[in-house]
Structure 1
Amino acid sequence: MFDGSGRRAYGGTALSGPRAAVTWQSFTVVLLCVTADTGRYLITRQPGGTGYWLLLAGTVAADLLLALPVRWTREIALAHAVMAALTPILLPHGSDPTEANNAGLVVAAFLAGAWLRSWAAFQTLGGLMLGLMVSQMVAATGDWRERAVVTVTSCLLPWLVGRVTMARRTYIVELEQHADRLRRDKAATVQRAIAAERSTIARDLHDVISHHVSTIGMHAGAARLGLTDDDHAARKSLAAVEAASRAAMLDLRRLLAVLHGETARSAERQPGLDSLDELLDGLRRAGTLVRLTTRGQSRELPGSVDVAVYRTLQEALTNAIRYGDGGAAEVELIYREGGITLTVTNGTPVQAGPRESEDRPRRGLAGVLHRVSLLGGTLRYGPADDRRSWRLEADFPVEEA
Structure 2
Amino acid sequence: MRGAWVVRTVRRFVRAPAADVVLAAAVAGNGLFDALKGPDWPPDASRPAIAVLALISAACLALRRRRPLLAFTGIMAPLTAILVVFGHYENGWSLLVALVAAYSVGVHGTNPPYAGAVMVCFAAAMGLRQPSGDAYPDMVFTAVALGLPFAVGLTVRALRGRGRLLEQRAQALEREQEQRAATAVAAERRRIARELHDIISHSLGIVVLQAGVVEQVLERDPAKARAALALIRATGQEAIGEMGTLVGLIRDDTRAPLDPQPTLADLDRLVATTRALGLPVRVVTEGPPDRLPAAVELSAYRVVQESLTNALKHAGKAQVDVVLRYRPHDLEVEVSDDGADGRQGTGGRHGLTGLKERVAVFGGRFEAGRGESGGWTVRASFPTAR
Task: Tell me whether the two structures share a fold, i.e. TM-score over 0.5.
Answer: yes
Structure of higher CA gyration radius = 1
Flag the 1:166–1:261 CA change in 2: closer, same or farther, 3 A.
Answer: farther
The answer on 1:365 being equivalent to 2:329 is: yes
How far off its partner does 1:138 sit?
4.0
Match of 1:116 in 2: 109
Amino acid at match of 1:44: D
1:280-326 CA-to-partner distances (Å, cap 9, x unmatched) read xxxxxxxxxxxxxxxxxxxxxxxxxxxxxxxxxxxxxx99xxxxxxx
Amino acid at match of 1:45: W
- Confirm or deny: 8 A CA contact 1:97 1:132 kept in the other structure: no
Higher relative contact order (CA 8 A, sep 6+): 2
Tell me, in whole angstroms, the C-alpha distance in 1 between the residues paired with 2:63 and 2:234.
78
Within the candidate set 184, 208, 225, 2:215 is matched to 225
The answer on 1:22 being equivalent to 2:15 is: yes
Within the candidate set 129, 133, 136, 1:144 is matched to 136
Flag the 1:64–1:364 CA change in 2: closer, same or farther, 3 A.
Answer: same
Tell me, in whole angstroms, the C-alpha distance in 1 between the residues paired with 2:328 and 2:222.
32
The answer on 1:77 being equivalent to 2:41 is: no
RMSD value over aligned CA atoms?
Answer: 4.0
Tell me, in whole angstroms, the C-alpha distance in 2 between the residues paired with 1:255 and 1:373.
13
Tell me, in whole angstroms, the C-alpha distance in 1 between the residues paired with 2:248 and 2:71.
63
Tell me, in whole angstroms, the C-alpha distance in 1 between the residues paired with 2:20 and 2:215.
90
The answer on 1:52 being equivalent to 2:47 is: yes
How far off its partner does 1:243 sit?
3.2
Q: How many residues align?
A: 259
How far off its partner does 1:166 sit?
1.1
Identity of aligned residues (%): 17
TM-score normalised over the length of structure 2: 0.55
1:2-401 mapped onto 2 (5 Å cutoff): 20-23=13-16, 25-34=19-28, 37-38=31-32, 41=35, 42-45=38-41, 48-49=44-45, 51-68=46-63, 70-91=65-86, 93=87, 95-96=88-89, 101-117=94-110, 120-139=111-130, 142-153=134-145, 155-207=146-198, 209-229=199-219, 231-260=221-250, 362-367=326-331
- Confirm or deny: 8 A CA contact 2:214 2:228 kept in the other structure: yes
Tell me, in whole angstroms, the C-alpha distance in 2 between the residues paired with 1:124 and 1:175.
28
Flag the 1:180–1:72 CA change in 2: closer, same or farther, 3 A.
Answer: closer
Gaps of 5+ in 2: 1-7, 253-290, 293-323, 333-358, 366-384
- Confirm or deny: 8 A CA contact 2:193 2:251 kept in the other structure: no
How far off its partner does 1:221 sit?
1.3
Match of 1:338 in 2: none
Tell me, in whole angstroms, the C-alpha distance in 2 between the residues paired with 1:192 and 1:373.
21
1:234-289 CA-to-partner distances (Å, cap 9, x unmatched) read 44443343333232222112223455399xxxxxxxxxxxxxxxxxxxxxxxxxxx
Gaps of 5+ in 1: 1-14, 263-317, 320-359, 375-393, 395-401
How far off its partner does 1:77 sit?
1.1
